[in-house]
Chain A
Amino acid sequence: MTTIKVYAPDGEAAPAPALLAPPRAVLSGARVGVLDNGKPNAGLLLTRVGEQLAARTGARVTLVTEKGQGGNAATPCTPGVMEQLEAECDIVLTGSADCGSCTSWSVHDTIQLEQLGIPTVVATTTHFVDLTRRVAAGYGVPEARVAVFPHPLGGSDDDTILAWADAAVDEVISLLTS
């Protein structure tokens, strides 16, 4: 059979070159920020992780915030809140990355914070961890700091969420320090 030549349909991509911030050898004294994207139970989960991490390591939670006016799970963090995080925090916990657009934008926020030198853990769930890692790989950092929680966060009761948070503290400390 004769052959033909056809164009590939995807063309070049220009991934933003991203680097993770160096880990912190010691968390004692570190200022912890919580960037809550407003997904159900995200704030409850992340704040508890932050508080438990602080109790364990001598860090302190200095800022718990959402993304700013007009910002939410389906948008980037507003510049004002990003500046506040940069000024007031040494490490950040964000999420939850447990749907499509919220995963994509939470990873975006995470990469932006990492570029500012702030080690950032993004909270995902067992059902969205693959997507989270693929989005991070799209920025060139498949090794992004991803903490995996059970699914679903939305619709689970407070006691369950708090127990999941407590169970994840070791993993979060490890992600930030190594």
Chain B
Amino acid sequence: MSNTSLSARAGIADLLEVDDSPDALMDLFAAHGWGDGLPLVAPTAERVDAMLAATQGDPDEVLAHLAPRFGKVTRRIIAVNAVLAGCVPDVMPVLVTAAKALARPELNLRGVNATTHPVAPLLVVHGEIAQRCGFNAGIGAFGPGNRANATVGRAVRLILLHVAGARPGDGDAAQHGQPSKYSYCVAENLAESPWESYPRSRGVTASSAITIHCGENPHNVHDMEAGTPGPVLDKIASTMTSLGQNNACIAYGEYFILLGPEHAATIAAAGWSRRDVATTLFERARMPAGLFRQQFESRAWFPWMDAVDDDSLLPMTGHPDNIRVMVVGGPGKHSCVVPSWGMTTSVTLPVEP
């Protein structure tokens, strides 16, 4: 999209008249093909203005365009969808930043929205704003029960449905969809992380940040026994190693490894860094090159992978840096793996007021 079109302002969104009842609002939205199927909060001017009061800048400045509809993202249209989702105004800066991240070319929103794969953007909130707005990084971070996680994740999906045009059957061909297409938002558990914050490890030093990774639902990893890193990482590697994941034929795809705090503590107590975790998983999550070749005629591999002989073991992703590690969740002995759709790269951005 050209810079000139981004400098424009959008017209103020249409106002529609409707009976003052939840059922009438649902009927109105259904008639237009809007909504996610769940009850909605009426986006009246009063509520939208309250949402806008929590963010700085021109409400009608075009911040980005979202594919495939080329919908104009403005603070006002974000606020409308935030109201619909049940958000409180304080989370607006998170949503504005998330919308900008979705428009980044390396995220490939056109592909993410269109694919038959079930992919959903996972929004991770980091730092000061996560604490201030009450995002849940601990027990049950993926839900249910926390308003910030639930409604911000839902607002992201409503923006994709309405502004980006990712309606199932039109802009979204996902064969099955997945539950995380309703809402997919957690916070990083920095308080119980043995390492620096995830954004800082990616060079983003702001006090608040967000990350978006477009992937599958979380895959659980269970290890109740290990007192050393090896067995925990073996099980994570085993969870990553699957011929059915897009990562198996797309070497560009990342993995997000969301360590429970206890697994992270076990690993860090042995002196291991975040990078040690990634490189170990890169070494251990492997299958024979010949098996990949036998299973996939079409492969998006790096050139060096084509040169490896059939008996050698190839990693599930093309580079250790594609394995991203952070701490999420509460007490217990579980972690999770979020595989990628494939042709998408995660985005981490500072949250501005």
Residues of chain A whose beta carbon lies under 8 Å from any beta carbon of chain B: 1-16, 38-40, 69-70, 72-75, 99-101, 103-105, 108, 128, 131, 134-135, 138
A75 x B158 contact (CB < 8 A): no
Interface SS majority for chain A: loop
Complex partner residue of B25 from A2, A6, A100, CB under 8 angstroms: A6
Nearest CB of B to A3, in Å: 5
Q: Is the CB of B165 within 8 A of A4?
A: no
B15 contacts A101, CB within 8 Å? no
Task: Enumerate B25-84 residues with CB–CB distance to A below 8 Å.
Answer: 25, 28-29, 32, 34, 42-45, 48, 65, 67-74, 76-77, 80-81, 84
| B66 CB to nearest A CB, Å | 9
Chain B count of residues within 8 A CB distance of the other chain: 63
What are 11 pairs between A and B in contact, CB < 8 Å?
A: A4-B17, A5-B15, A6-B28, A8-B15, A8-B80, A11-B162, A14-B72, A38-B298, A74-B111, A100-B114, A104-B111
Interface contact B165-A100, CB-CB below 8 Å: no
B13 within 8 A of A: yes
Contact B10 A100 (CB under 8 A): no
Q: How far is the CA of A101 from the CA of B172 in the complex (A)?
A: 9
> How many pairs of A and B residues are in contact by the CB < 8 Å rule?
158
Q: Cβ of A135: which chain B residues have Cβ within 8 Å of it? A: 68, 114
Contacts known (A6-B25, A10-B163, A105-B110); A72 close to B11, Cβ less than 8 A: no
Question: How distant is the Cα of A70 from the Cα of B32 in the complex, in angstroms?
Answer: 39
Residues of B within 8 A of A (CB): 5, 10-11, 13-21, 24-25, 28-29, 32, 34, 42-45, 48, 65, 67-74, 76-77, 80-81, 84, 108, 110-117, 158, 162-163, 165, 169-170, 172-174, 250, 252, 297-298, 300, 303, 342-343
In the assembled complex, the Cα of A5 lies from the Cα of B47 at a distance in Å of 11
User: Given A5-B16, A6-B15, A7-B13, do A14 and B65 touch, yes or no (CB 8 Å)?
Assistant: yes
Interchain nearest-CB distance for B87 vs A (Å): 13
A51 to B110, CA, bound (A): 32
**Which residues from chain A contact B15 at a C-beta distance below 8 Å?**
5-8
Cβ contact within 8 Å between A75 and B108: yes
Q: Is the CB of B111 within 8 A of A105?
A: yes
The answer, among B43, B163, B165, B298, for a CB contact under 8 Å with A138, is B165
CB pair A9 B48 closer than 8 Å: no
Query: CB-CB < 8 A to A9: which residues of B?
Result: 13, 29, 34, 43, 77, 80-81, 84, 158, 162-163
A160 CA / B226 CA spacing, docked (Å): 54
**A100-B116, A134-B170 in contact; A10/B71 too (CB < 8 A)?**
yes
Inter-subunit contact A99/B16 (CB<8 Å):
no
Whether the Cβ atoms of A11 and B21 lie closer than 8 Å is no
Tell me how far the C-beta of A2 lies from the nearest C-beta in chain B, rounded to whole angstroms. 5
Nearest 9 interchain pairs by C-beta: A100-B173, A104-B114, A74-B343, A101-B115, A11-B77, A101-B111, A100-B115, A9-B162, A100-B116
Q: How far is the CA of A104 from the CA of B44 in the complex (A)?
A: 35
* B24 cross-chain contacts in A, Cβ below 8 A: 1
Q: What B residues does A14 contact at CB under 8 A? A: 5, 65, 70-72
The interface residues of chain A lying within 8 Å CB-to-CB of B18 are 3-6
CB-CB under 8 A from B16, the residues of chain A are 5-8
Q: With a 10 A CB-CB cut-off, give which of A8, A10, A108 has the most chain B CB atoms.
A: A10
Q: By the criterion CB–CB under 8 Å, are B48 and A7 in contact? A: yes
The answer to whether A5 and B71 have CB atoms under 8 Å apart is no
Question: A4 and B20: CB pair below 8 A?
Answer: yes
A163 to chain B minimum Cβ distance, whole angstroms, is: 20
Contact at A138–B343, with CB atoms within 8 Å?
A: no
Residue of B with least CB distance to A41: B297
Given the interface pairs A4-B18, A105-B111, the reply to whether A13 lies near B72 with Cβ below 8 Å is: yes
Which chain B positions have C-beta within 8 A of A104? 67-68, 110-111, 113-114
Q: Are B70 and A138 in contact (CB under 8 A)?
A: yes
CA distance A70 to B114 in the complex (A): 19
Tell me whether A108 and B110 are in contact in the complex, defined as CB-CB below 8 angstroms, given that A6-B16, A7-B14, A138-B68 are known contacts. yes
By a CB distance below 8 angstroms, the chain B residues around A7 are: 13-16, 43-45, 48, 76, 80
Q: Which residues of B contact A138 (CB under 8 A)?
A: 68-70, 165
Instruction: Find chain B residues with CB under 8 A from A131 CB.
Output: 169-170, 173
A74 and B72 form a contact (CB under 8 A): no
Is the CB–CB distance between B111 and A75 below 8 Å? yes
